[in-house]
Amino acid sequence: MSEDKRLAAIEAHQNNPFSIAQEQLREANKYLGLSDGALAVLMQPMREYHCSLPVRMDDGRVEVFPAFRVQYNDARGPTKGGIRFHPLETIDTIRALAAWMTWKTAVVDIPLGGGKGGIICNPKELSAGELERLSRQYVRYFGHILGAERDVPAPDVYTNPQIMAWMMDEFYWQRSYNQPGSFTGKPVEVGGSLGRGDATARGGIFCVREAMKKLGMKTGNSTYAVQGFGNAGQFAAILMKEILGEGNKLLAVSDSRGGVYNEKGLDVSALIAYKHETGSLSGFPGGEAITNEALLELPVDIIFPSAIENVITGDNAPRIQAKISCELANGPTTPEGDSILCERNVFVIPDFLANAGGVTVSYFEQVQNGDNYYWDIDLVHERLDKKMTRAFQSVYEAHEEHGVNMRIAAYIVAVRRVARAMELRGWV
């Protein structure tokens, strides 16, 4: 192998999300001291499934879409995790996300394990009918491993409540009875929960509130920037003001096509309306253009990486100026970037804590489906706040006790709970 190819292979391994997830687990185990057997179990998925989904397109031809489902660990309960539709999806991304979902459900202490699914496709190029046929085909091929007692999917990248409704309906036709808790993130009209739409961002804002208390920051007059203006990013922009005070100022926001910056502050409602109308933030008249890379390096109090993996690295971490990074995306910071942020006293609220509000309200949805009794929005928000605040406090206590960054502290809390469940069940 040539030196160039060797270096390229090393770089690919370092940026592989599952390699990063495994490296983070090994780092946490320095403080946990798991047995060799327990660590070996937790380093790999318990089960994973690969299928090729044939779908008849609108023009009559048949196209085949690779699809995956990974059930990482179910020691604490049925696996739980979203389904992603993305043209660049990979099995290693799905493995990493399933691992992080395992730690996510554990860190907020809900009785579920971690799973994830995906289809390699470009949903932007599919008609509504093609999307429905693809969604139903996923359940036809994977339905035998799904269900409220086994593995519960939910929306993720480029999937939504309508797709969950189609999948739930296909599952109904397989089983000949309704089991609404088999899928979450559904429309409210067919068993979804109030409060699910903004739950990921809302949980993150609750964590920001607690972090600001610990850091002695005032909650009503901060500046912030949002990288990634999808569901979580848009709600983060809204809820920073709604929950923590109208005096908070959004200075910059970006999507995959670029972003916009205004040092005097951006109008959140106008931004969302413009994005919905044009499909992009490019050309928004209320500020000047800014790149995704430059946004992360702005002198703001809080940044919300809310887009994709590996956007904060060893290269740009030395230039991050925010006091708090609240990771609403999965895996936005590489291990090297993490170390540098820690050295520079940037307080990172790690992804599987920061964005755990989504799975928490999905769990609430399952509980409501099982009881056939549905909560009002105030009760959902109250219980989410309690869960997220308690989870943050547990992680912060581990952070102080072990003198580690918040990510490793979150691993310590979560992995200890999963390992204890495996021990009690006699697996290790």
Which residues have a catalytic role annotated? 116
Residue with tokens 């390096």: 297
Helix axes 91-107, 357-371, angle to 10 degrees: 70
Contacts 24+ apart (CB under 8 A), 171-179: 171/139, 171/143, 171/146, 171/147, 174/139, 174/140, 174/143, 179/147, 179/148
Distance CA 427, CA 421 (A): 9
Q: What is the 3-state secondary structure (H, E, C) of 269-300?
A: HHHHHHHHHHCCCCCCCCCEEECHHHHHCCCC
Enumerate the H helices of 291-376 as residue ranges.
Answer: 292-296, 335-343, 351-354, 357-371
Cα torsion 330, 332, 336, 338: sign? negative
Which residues have a Cβ under 8 Å from the Cβ of 122 and sit 6 or more positions away? 86, 87
